[in-house]
Structures are given as C-alpha cells and as structure tokens.
Amino acid sequence: MINEIIKELIKILIIVVPLLIATAFITLAERKVLASMQFRTGPNVVGIYGTLQPIADAIKLFAKETTLPNHANIGIFMIAPVACLILSIITWAPIPFGPGLYLSDLNVGILYIFAVSSLSVYAILCSGWASNSKYPFLGALRATAQMISYEVSIGLIILVVVMITGSLNLSKIVLNQAPIWNIFPLFPAAIMFFISALAETFRPPFDLPESESELVSGYNVEYSSMWFSLFFLGEYLHIIAMSFLGSILFLGGWLPPFYFLPVIGPFWLILKVLFLVFLFIWVRSALPRFRYTDLTALCWKSFLPLALGFFLFVAGIFIGMDWAPFNY
C-alpha cells in the first residue's frame, strides 16, 4: 500500500515539477516574443540573453513582504490563490502526454476537466469578494460571467469531437485521429475553440477581468508577493492546459503530421503545444482589448448559435449516413 502511494506521488512530481518550470520559462518566452514584435530588447540582463530572468522574478516574488489589507476577509483572501493553483494542477490528471504517458486514464477525462475548470470560478470569485474592495470585486464578477459564458460554447464544440470519436477518453480521441486530424473536417470548431480558450484564460484581447486601464489589475489587485505569484502560476498553467487540450482534440495529440514519421513519445505533442502557446502570445501583441459588451455579444450572439448549429449539422450527417460513432 505504501509503495503504491509512493509511486503515485513520484508520478505526480514528474508531471508537476516540469510544468512549473515550463510555466516560468513560458513567461520569459512571452516577454521575448512581445519585445521582438514591438521592436524592443526584452529581458537580457540576468543570465545569457536573459534566460535566468524567470528565476530572478520567482526569488523576488517569494522574498517580498506579504501585505494583507485590513479590510479583507483574511481566511478566504488567503485560501483563494492556493485554491486557484491547486485546481490548475489537478486539471492535468487525465491529460495524456504520449502513448501510455498519463497520470490517470479516465474514461470521462473531458468531463473531469470541465468539472475542475468550473470550480476554478469559485477561487476567482472568492478572491474578489474577500478583498472587500470595489475594483477586485468588479473584476471577479467580470471573470465569473466570462468563464461561465464561454464554457457553454467550448462545451458544445468539444461535444462535436466527442460525437465523432464516440468516447470521452482523451487517449481514444487522439488515436481516433490516426487517419486525419480533427482540425481538417472541424476547422470552424477549432477556430471557435481557440478564441473561446483565449476568453477562458483571460488572455488579450479578452483580459477584461484584469484590465489595467479600468480595474488596475482586477481580482488580484490586493495581492502581493507569493500570493500574487500563485494566481500568476495558476493562470499560465491554465493556458498550457488549454494548449494541450486543443492539441489533443484537433491536432492529433502525439501523432506525427505525416503517417511515415515515427511517434516519438510526447515530442510531437509538445511541438503542437508550443505552437498554440505562441498563438496566445501573438494575439496579445496584435489585437487591442475588446469592450465588455462586445465580449458577451461574441459569445451569446455568435459562438453559441454557431457551435450549436455546427453540432446539429455533424449530428445530422451521422444520422443520415448511419456512421458508427453516433451509435456508441
């Protein structure tokens, strides 16, 4: 029994530690890419070409003094960032990194990810409410409305993939794409998924819960030192998770782009994830922030009817042609 527990803990550390390191260096990559796109230098002082900048930032954040607002509900105020990070980490349990490389091969992996991502709304709402300040509370309300809205459209888009595959298991969804990746027959759904993922992770141009020009920093404005860094880590872990999910659902996961190329563990999957992370960064540098009315209208007036219509269209094809996945 003890040996099994130790094995599971080792597997968890093998996943969590590289993820946290990758999160740190993705922030460096973001700053470098943004600097290049804006004709700036970017971090270039700490380490060779600034490669040690994330380590310096982490030391600075964890060494700074923690300030707690006098008017805050201290218990909930301190629990919220911890809950945000924990929920971001446990999302990774059913995600397969390669053939047989996963923590838990859940048959309802998609459902599990949806359940955990829905719970993360509570951490953000609690942080804004416990701060007992107007700007954080308004940012938390924006974040909650935004996440709930776009989860509906993402759910309908993923249902199309589930209907084609006939399974909620992420590994089976990848293997089902051996003949052709889902992005080719489901290209409109893939585009809607990526835009909805931007909104789910509060990335520009949908960073309205944290908009500095209006709300200073939104729901995390009262946080400092390591408590702020927990929100920061949770946000970037969510971005990487959405990139992994997009790669698994639409880009064939660990499968190579051409059938004659070998499957090299998680190599192809990591390349696809890095490509999607680059798109997240590129959109930040290229597009201005949306108005909040435009954000909600995009979801409820455009994506929701389009996703529902696309779902019914694919279901109609399955019924008309009596394809096997529809009978599962």
10-37 tens-digit pLDDT: 888 888 888 989 998 898 999 999 999 8
Q: Is the pLDDT of residue 78 over 70?
A: yes
Note the pLDDT of residue 328: 44
Q: Is the dihedral of CA 169, 147, 211, 193 positive or negative?
A: positive
Q: Which residue has the higher pLDDT, 226 or 272?
A: 272
DSSP 224-245: -HHHHHHHHHHHHHHHHHHHHH
Q: Provide the β-strand partners of residue 101.
A: 98
Q: Provide the β-strand partners of residue 98.
A: 101
Q: Is the pLDDT of residue 199 over 50?
A: yes
Residue 29, CA atoms < 13 Å, CB-side half-sphere: 16
Mean pLDDT: which of 6-20, 63-77, 114-128, 236-250 is highest?
236-250
Q: Which residue, 181, 210, 196, is CA-closest to 283?
A: 196
| Residue 43's pLDDT band (cuts 50, 70, 90) | confident
SS3 (DSSP) at 101: strand
Sketch the domain layout of the chain as residue ranges. 1-63, 67-327
Note the pLDDT of residue 327: 43
Determine the residue type at 148.
I
Mean pLDDT: which of 123-127, 169-173, 218-222, 313-317 is highest?
169-173
Q: What is the mean pLDDT of residues 34-42?
A: 88
112-121 tens-digit pLDDT: 998 898 888 8
